[in-house]
Amino acid sequence: MVSEEKRTELLKKIHDSVVEFEEETSVKLCTEALNEGIDPYDAIMEGLAAGMETVGGLYEQKEYFVPELLLCSDAMYAGLDVLRPHVKVDKSVKTVGKIIMGVIEGDIHDIGKTLVKTMFEAAGWEIYDLGKDVKLEKFVEELKRTEADVVALSALMTTSMLAMPKVIGMLKAEVPEVIVMVGGAPLSLEIAKQYGADGYAKDAVAAVQEADRLFKKVA
């Protein structure tokens, strides 16, 4: 059994490997954590996810920008690939909520959605990522299939954002209580309200905070 001191040190190192975007180090340390008998769920939450939380703070303080975020995300996912197969089932289902996300039809710009996905992953959400240029009907089908709590829609173009009010109407008609969030460069809180969305976030970090707020309000 690993000592408390060693456990704390290893989890801190995993955290740091994410913050310092050291993908290979993250893999090495996560493997070491497994070998030392550290619960993989704890290694994810206290190491990798905690690292991404720190990264989110650095992004908000404008110390990190998208290149750093992408590399931190790579380090987190590399570690997750090592740990996830070993997570015990009862703990793996302990998610915050279910979220469907995708870049809306007519739009192939998915860098923002990629970052949003990473932050939700780190925050413990169960994610259904539909990718980019997603047909409106696909969001509704996925909602019916997964019974997700939240649907997050992304758009970078002023043309593609025009699809948002339509798909929000379709989603609400199917599941009136579903929480729909929108984001992307041309969006704003005012436009989100106008389109009938429940929430809006200006970036990936804010998206998780907003989803948490809306989800707690409903729950």
Partner 1 sequence: MQLRQDRMTSLERIDALFNYQKPDRISVGAMSTGFNTKNAGFTVADAYEDPDKSFKAMMWTTQQYGWDPIPQYAGHTVLGAWDFGGEVRMPQGEYEGALVITSYPVKDEGDIDGLEMPDPKKAGRIPRAMRFSELQAAHDIPVFFFSRSPFTMAANISGIDQFLRWTMKKPEACEKLLRLSIDHIFNVLEYWVETFGPDMIFAWMSSPSESNQLISPGTLKKFALPYHAEYHKRLKKLGIKRFGLHVCGDQNLNLPLLAEASPWQHPSVLSFGHEVDIETAAEHFPKDIIYGNIEPAVIQTGTPEQVYELSRVAIEKGKKAPGGFILGPGCGLPVMAPPVNVWAMTKAANDFGWYD
Check binding of 59 to partner 1 (CB under 8 A): no
- Quickly tell me which residue has 């954590």 as its tokens: 33
Residues constituting the chain = 219
The nearest distance, CB 94 to partner 1, in angstroms, is 31
- Identified binder of partner 1 from the candidate list 62, 93, 173, 176, rule CB under 8 A: 62
Q: Are 169 and 135 in contact (CB under 8 A)?
A: no
Check binding of 70 to partner 1 (CB under 8 A): yes
Tokens encoding 41: 């769920």
- Identified binder of partner 1 from the candidate list 187, 197, 201, 214, rule CB under 8 A: 187
- Identified binder of partner 1 from the candidate list 27, 34, 111, 206, rule CB under 8 A: 111
Choice between 33 and 130, CB closer to partner 1: 130
Residue 38 three-state SS: coil
Residues ≥6 apart with Cβ < 8 Å to 16? 22, 51
Amino acid making up residue 24? E
- Identified binder of partner 1 from the candidate list 157, 170, 175, 206, rule CB under 8 A: 157
Residue 200 three-state SS: strand
Query: Which residues 2-21 are close enough to bind partner 1 by CB under 8 A?
Result: 21
Q: Are 203 and 59 in contact (CB under 8 A)?
A: yes
Check binding of 114 to partner 1 (CB under 8 A): yes
- Identified binder of partner 1 from the candidate list 91, 94, 137, 194, rule CB under 8 A: 194
Q: Are 104 and 167 in contact (CB under 8 A)?
A: yes
Tokens encoding 154: 């992304």
CA 203 to chain centre: 11
How many chain residues interact with partner 1 (CB under 8 A)? Answer: 29
Stretch near partner 1 under the rule CB under 8 A, chosen from 42-50, 88-96, 185-193, 210-218: 185-193
Cβ count within 10 A of residue 84: 14
- Identified binder of partner 1 from the candidate list 27, 66, 127, 206, rule CB under 8 A: 66
The nearest distance, CB 186 to partner 1, in angstroms, is 4
d(CA 180, CA 171): 8
- Quickly tell me which residue has 């173009």 as its tokens: 157
Choice between 189 and 218, CB closer to partner 1: 189
Residues ≥6 apart with Cβ < 8 Å to 214? 150, 179, 181, 198, 199
Stretch near partner 1 under the rule CB under 8 A, chosen from 75-83, 92-100, 171-179, 187-195: 187-195
**What is the binding site for partner 1 (CB under 8 A)?**
21, 62, 65-68, 70-71, 74, 104-108, 111, 114, 157-163, 185-188, 191, 194
